[in-house]
Amino acid sequence: MNILLTTLISLVMTYEMPKLPYANNGLEPVISQATIDYHYGKHLQTYVNNLNSLVPGTEFEGKTVEEIVASAPDGAIFNNAGQVLNHTLYFLQFAPKPGKHEPAGKLAEAINRDFGSFENFKKEFNAASTGLFGSGWAWLSVDKQGKLHITKEPNGSNPWRAGLKPLLGFDVWEHAYYLDYQNRRADHVNKLWEIIDWDVIEKRL
């Protein structure tokens, strides 16, 4: 293999599945193994496969998922890149037995400053999660000035699109909770707080 061909191959970026930091049944009873098997193992895998097939030969070849989400027009590439980014952040924010059940340090200070209290933040975040019509996401993000924002993102969109850095996301597509909670989105949202790994969220800040 000549040097030029080797260089060209090395420039092709392959998007990969995130490695879960817990077993597929590790989040039970909040999220069942059946939901992880389908949501992570099938839905996310499909988004990753789609992105890998769509990007080669386009202007987005060689770009990170974040770069694609920030600049791609609405369409298949954006939708699949958004869902790869969304789900990667989502699945990596959980822990079977979190060391703490609310944020600390700079994140706690920012939440108290921008939302009044952690409990008030949770109420606003739950309202965003349950109030989003149809499929999508609720996100806690931070802007370049350090201010926190709660946004509702339809379908596969992400706060990166608006120049915000996503910290915490709740998936309210039905495939995220229907096997466990059927149509009870609010129950799903309320239970997710039990498995948030706040150390991960603080590091993202």
Is 143 assigned a ligand-binding role in the annotation? no
For residue range 115-153, what is the model confidence (pLDDT) as tens digits?
999 999 999 999 999 999 989 999 999 999 999 999 999
Is 171 assigned a ligand-binding role in the annotation? yes
Q: What amino acid is encoded at 147 in this protein? A: K
For residue range 59-91, what is the model confidence (pLDDT) as tens digits?
999 899 999 999 999 999 999 999 999 999 999
> What pLDDT shows up at residue 198?
96
Which pTM was predicted?
0.90
End-to-end CA distance of the chain: 44
pLDDT value at 6 more than 60: no
> How much is the mean pLDDT over the chain?
91
pLDDT value at 3 more than 60: no
Domains of the chain: 33-92 (1.10.287.990), 105-204 (3.55.40.20)
Structure tokens at 122: 């949770």
For residue range 13-30, what is the model confidence (pLDDT) as tens digits?
689 999 999 999 999 999
pLDDT value at 42 more than 70: yes
Structure tokens at 57: 């030969």
Structure tokens at 55: 């990007």
Calculate helix-pair angle for 105-115, 118-131, nearest 10 degrees.
Answer: 70
Is 175 assigned a ligand-binding role in the annotation? yes
170 CB burial (10 A radius; 0-12, 13-18, 19+): buried
* Alpha-carbon distance values, 74 to 70, 93, 173 (Å): 11, 27, 19
Q: How far apart are CA 142 and CA 110, in angstroms?
A: 10
Rounded average pLDDT over 166-177: 95
> What percentage of residues in the chain have a pLDDT greater than 90?
87
182 CB burial (10 A radius; 0-12, 13-18, 19+): exposed
User: Which DSSP symbol is given to 164?
Assistant: P
Is 180 assigned a ligand-binding role in the annotation? no
Name the CA dihedral angle for 181, 185, 188, 190, rounded to a multiple of 10 degrees: -140
Q: How far apart are CA 49 and CA 46, in angstroms?
A: 5
Q: How far apart are CA 189 and CA 30, in angstroms?
A: 10
Rounded average pLDDT over 176-205: 95
Structure tokens at 97: 């037995």
pLDDT value at 180 more than 50: yes
